[in-house]
Chains A and B, each alone.
Chain A
Amino acid sequence: MDTSIAQNWLQFHSLSSFPLLTLLCAMPLGFALLALAIPDEQTSAHKAWSFVGSLVTLAVALVVLGGFDRNAVGLQQVDDYAWIPSFGARWTLGVDGLSLPLVMLTAFLMPIIFAGAWSAIDKRWKEFSIAMLILETGMLGSLLAVDLLSFYVFWEIMLVPMYLIVGIWGGKDRIYATVKFFIYTMFGSLLMLVAILWLYQKSGGSFALAQLAALNLSDKEQTWLFAAFALAFLIKVPVFPFHTWLPDAHTEAPTPGSVVLAGVMLKLGTYGLLRFAIPLFPSAMGTFSPLLMTLAVIGIIFGALMAYVQTDVKRLVAYSSVSHLGFVMLGIVIFNEESLQGAVLQGVNHGISTGALFLLVGYLYERRHTREISEFGGIAAKMPVYAAFFVFVTMSSIALPLTNGFVGEFLIFAGSFKEGVQAVIAPVAEAGRWRNTVLVGGGIASLGVVLGAVYMLSMVRRVFFGQITNPANKALHDLDWREKTIMAILACFILWIGVYPSSWLNLSKTTVHAMVLAHRPAILQVRAPLDYKHEAIQHEHADR
């Protein structure tokens, strides 16, 4: 039973008779092409059109969700067509418990982003809506593609619209930020391309993930290829020390750009690790585990400390992303069921919470044209609804129970302590160093939760409470109905996941179970060989 689950997780479970996933990918692109026909001056038409386009895409995504079988192992609703036959390139899209939460997040965030952009974007709406819609196609495609070449195509498609979004509608230093973003990401992904080509030659002419994952690679090959893949994804996440593009890009990007960057694009890095890097090179993952663990923990603490010293609210939120994504990385590195469930869910949580924070910061910026914390103070008196939403989202960001953030971080820590604590309660003879590393790393990482509360709450205090000292803040007006609606929807999701997470966890449960069965042995074998034997014996006992 177990072996068949493990073997099947990258195989096709069900082919789709109707190319629904292709339609999902193509939908935003189609709306973008039609938007070309609307004249530039018709700003409101563009606003409405792009909003409708993202809503229709969401509807298609809901159909995909409706047809999704939570208990099935493997890729579902697969579209599999030949693309360049003589080259072995195929057009293969599929969805499983790993990608579906993120697909839903993307489809759900886009209408919010467009609605939020109505006031944030004040010029060249046509170009904006086209760029955003193409970006959505790129993101959805990257999440759905399971053929490495088509994945790479979508992965790169995301770059150009993002470059333009930051470059055209961004802040003062937008050019520096956007070029830095582009070069960093491009460099990483081109090295990945080299690795893809290596695999392609090795396999004798295939880009299909399942076939490539079945290749027999030497340890040296695994190490190098994993490094090339992981670099592309780690830059995207971003993991310390590859994070330096992020504060610049996030801060300079216009509000919708920051939301989409934080909400979805960063998650594509962690998704890529889980979908491609680890299944392709599991034992290299074992080799790199201690390093990745260290980087994740450094990212958590470093991001939190950097966030604490920022004077610009948006930069603060940007650094908080570095810290939060560190938790997700931690969950991935531990690689047991709890931690992976937590990592997948925390990806969604971060998208919602940080997206909401960026939107809120954007609202304030539209009113005052500054984001310096020292410019504010006591504005809760003038903007009570705004303050209430902000404090609520902050609670979710610092992982208070009953908010979504708590569930995700709890699962990650539960996973990491399960991994580590066994070293204490059930010591294996000559237990490997790995469990101690996990114990220490998890302990340090939990400090990050405290630091998260420190920087967020101190910012909230300085911005919202006390007396109004700056006369410019006296004229501030509270949120209008559009802004309230957006926030209310996001708040509902925060509560929903916080109170009843099962509806989301169930989506990814089966897939995560299969992933752990499939790849954990290979990973453990390298990073903790003695534990591996121990765990294998336990399994045998359980089977009997």
Chain B
Amino acid sequence: MLMLPELIIVATGFILLVLDLFLTEKQRDLLVPLALAGIAAALGALWLTPDHGVLLGGRFAMDPLAWWFKLTFLIAAFVTVMLTSGLLESAAPEPRKLHSPGEFLTILLFNLTGMLLLASTRDLITLYVALELATIPLFLLAAWRRDALGGEAGLKYMVIGALASALMLYGFGVLYGVTGTMRLDAMPALLHADRTTLYAAALIVAGVGFKLTLVPFHMWAPEVYQGAPPPVTAWLSVASKAAGLSVLMLVLFRVFRPFLHDVSFAIAVLATVTMTIGNLVAIVQRNILRFMAFSAISQAGYLLLGFLAGGSVGAAAMVFYLLVYAVTNLSVFAVIILHNQQTGSTELTDYRGLSQLNPLLALALMFGLFGLGGIPPLAGFVGKFLLFSVAAQAGYHWLVGVAAVNSTVSLYYYLRLVRQMYIEAPAEGAVPLKPGWMLSAGLAVTTAASMLLGVVPTVYESVRASAAAWLQSLGQ
């Protein structure tokens, strides 16, 4: 029962894989609804899953926060498949069409399985295996279009991803060497505040840093974001980041929690550098995917603020912000995917006049961008506010100041896109985009969520309650 969501996703993946063999090109259009049904079933199963319990001798465990991570992964996957549907269908226009929909969806689902497992792992081996499953399929997805950019993206991602895995594995090795146990929960008692512990922590944080696109481990992001098909970029920027955060929370809160306070300054510096570099470089981007890459980097910087205070407030702020970031970023990507699908362009200036051609799309994109920029009353503001208040609570007032200035900078570049859409006139001969119903539905749902999460407090309240319960389950 505890593992039901994972099992449903794996089963759906295999069904799609096998079914794909027997279907004609035209019939393969059925695969998207099938995948959606599978994910929806997993969401339903997750709803019924109790939020604590253990399986497999304690290697797999549910806790209240893992539940929220799984929810984020599943929602992200569901929306991503909806957004991708227009590119996967047999009638999709070449050359942007994504071929072999069955394989694409299967790989996506396996990738999702890895992430779901990741949130529940409790020992080093399972953690590492799950992490690889949450990573390797992404290399394939990034290179799905076998053109020059896609190839470069896939290769670069793979090489750097392998390096990240190696660093992390090394860190795990050190941890095992020091403690002699694989179980994460047993480690804090066996670790001492010495250099070896710090060394292991640094290696693991560096490894996760690649996934979370923390500066200076962010180098791959712009190229991969640009070269991968836009729906994959959307998935990458949301789910992969969420997976990174779940590993980081697992490691920092479960294993290094007694020492978290000692390294908080290092975390503060990492956050400062990440948000500042991300924001400054985003200003000069002309390609919307690279632009979103740097925006995502800076968002990772804000997320880190949650680690500054060890308690449940920090964890709740991070999980809530992650959820908000996921829906907001997906709503932005919905428009980017559609625009790219129908115009083939990824230039910022090609969004000019969108508000006159597609008023609702432009409105949704504007809300999404302002949500990422943190303008009230959108959810992005509340999320950022909670994170800032965690930093303030931990005494890092200078960091709150830095983050505030960074937010101003980020608004400047989000406004660049708003300006193209609202102030510039449309290009001559530009035609309105025609969104499919599935993409429209995905966009509507994510946009509504990104507004309501900020105004209606229920979700934050329950995240907060979960975080409190989770902290108790840590038993420290």
User: Which residues from chain A sit less than 8 Å from chain B, CB to CB?
Assistant: 40, 83-87, 89, 124, 126-127, 149, 152-154, 156-157, 159-160, 163-164, 167-168, 174-175, 179, 182-183, 186-187, 190-191, 193-194, 197-198, 200-201
Contacts and interface: CB of A to CB of B under 8 A. Distances in A.
Contacts of B355: 127
Those 3 A-B pairs whose CB atoms lie nearest each other, nearest first: A190-B404, A153-B376, A84-B457
B392 A198 contact: yes
B359 interface: yes
B461 A200 contact: no
A193 B457 contact: no
A127 B359 CA distance: 9
A193 B388 contact: yes
Contacts of A186: 407-408, 411
B404 A191 contact: yes
A168 B422 contact: yes
Contacts of B411: 182-183, 186
9 contacts: A86-B460, A127-B422, A157-B376, A186-B411, A187-B408, A190-B407, A191-B404, A197-B392, A198-B392
B401 A200 contact: no
B460 A167 contact: no
Contacts of B376: 152-154, 156-157
Interface string B213-230: 000000000000000000
B405 A187 contact: yes
B308 to A, nearest CB: 13
A365 B400 CA distance: 46
A394 to B, nearest CB: 34
Contacts of A89: 457
Nearest to A153: B376
A124 B370 CA distance: 22
A85 B457 contact: yes
A179 B415 contact: yes
A156 B457 contact: no
B184 interface: no
B412 interface: yes
A89 B404 CA distance: 20
Given A85-B461, A153-B381, A191-B401, A197 B375 contact: no
User: Which of A85, A160, A198 has the largest number of chain B CB atoms within 10 A?
Assistant: A160
Contact of B397 (A159, A183, A194): A194
User: Which of B355, B382, B408 has the largest number of chain A CB atoms within 10 A?
Assistant: B408
B412 A183 contact: yes
A187 B392 CA distance: 18
A156 B392 CA distance: 21
Interface string B358-388: 0100000000001000011100011001101
A124 B375 CA distance: 24
Contacts of B377: 153, 157
Given A160-B370, A191-B401, 5 more contacts: A87-B460, A153-B381, A163-B415, A168-B423, A182-B415
Contacts of B422: 127, 164, 167-168
Given A86-B460, A157-B377, A200 B389 contact: yes
Given A85-B457, A183-B408, A190-B404, A167 B423 contact: yes
- Interface of chain B, main secondary structure: helix
A201 B465 CA distance: 20
A83 B370 CA distance: 22
A8 to B, nearest CB: 30
B464 interface: yes
User: Which of B370, B377, B385, B464 has the largest number of chain A CB atoms within 10 A?
Assistant: B385
A58 B397 CA distance: 42
Nearest to A89: B457
B460 A190 contact: no
Contacts of B382: 84
B461 A174 contact: no
Contacts of B375: 156-157, 159-160
B339 to A, nearest CB: 20
A325 B274 CA distance: 41
Given A156-B376, A191-B401, A201 B461 contact: no
Contacts of A153: 376-377, 381
A174 B392 contact: no
B419 interface: yes
Interface string B433-447: 000000000000000
B359 A40 contact: yes
Given A193-B404, A194-B401, A197-B389, A84 B461 contact: yes
A126 to B, nearest CB: 8
Contact of A179 (B388, B397, B412, B465): B412
Contacts of B356: 124
B401 to A, nearest CB: 5
Contacts of B473: none
Contacts of A201: 389, 392-393
Contacts of A168: 422-423
Contacts of B381: 153, 156
Given A84-B461, A156-B381, A191-B401, A197 B388 contact: yes
Nearest to B423: A167
Contacts of A160: 370, 375
User: Which of A153, A179, A191 has the largest number of chain B CB atoms within 10 A?
Assistant: A153
A175 B423 contact: yes
Contacts of A85: 457, 461
Contacts of A40: 359
Given A153-B377, A156-B375, A190-B405, A197 B400 contact: yes
A201 to B, nearest CB: 5
B443 to A, nearest CB: 16
Given A183-B412, A187-B405, A87 B419 contact: no
Nearest to A174: B423
A84 B320 CA distance: 13
A167 B401 contact: no
Given A163-B415, A200-B389, A194 B461 contact: no
A84 B404 contact: no
Nearest to B454: A153
Contacts of A187: 405, 408
Interface string B73-85: 0000000000000
Contacts of A124: 356
A191 B461 CA distance: 27
A175 B407 CA distance: 20
